[in-house]
Amino acid sequence: MIEPPSIVHLAPRPAAVIRFTIPRNEISAVMGPAIGELIACLTGQGLMPAGPVYSHHFRLDPEVFDFEVGVPVTGDFEPEGRVLAGSTPSGKAAMTTLHGSYEGLPEGWGEFHQRILSAGMPLAGNFWECYAAGPESGEDPAQWRTELYMALEG
């Protein structure tokens, strides 16, 4: 389901973002519309995404998701409404790739988290998903790829 984790060092990139603090069970209701809003904002300004959409979670809380949905941008992006200027997550992180549908995310995150803990890697507290290939790339969920990242201290 997931690939063996690796350590990566990511530089920040300019991004268009929408931030949310919502009850955990509302995530499926806000993700799709937020992605649509981001893409509409960019295309309305004559811009294209400079990479895949991501969701960056700022803390782990079983009841509340404090996160942003974002997409890397290039060019002269102007904030508009809820769509703000931000940056992609950056720094040292453990990374893996989940193959398959989004329904496998909870199990994939659980397995990834256990592998990181077992390896004794010091977690920094935030994590993110990068939707490298999803429904927009084909109907077969076996071809979908979601990159999972856990920020590491140091």
Domain boundaries, the chain: 6-152
Tens of pLDDT along the chain (154 residues) come to 899 999 999 999 999 999 999 999 998 899 999 999 999 999 999 999 999 999 999 987 889 999 999 999 998 899 999 999 999 999 999 999 999 999 999 999 999 999 999 999 999 989 999 999 987 888 888 899 999 999 999 8
Burial of 70 (0-12, 13-18, 19+ CB in 10 A): buried
Report pTM. 0.93
What is the predicted pLDDT for the residue at 142? 87
What is the predicted pLDDT for the residue at 135? 79
Q: Dihedral sign, CA of 126, 93, 97, 19? A: positive
Rg of the chain taking only CA atoms, in angstroms: 15
Tokens of 93: 């992180």
What is the predicted pLDDT for the residue at 139? 86
CATH number of 6-152: 3.20.80.10
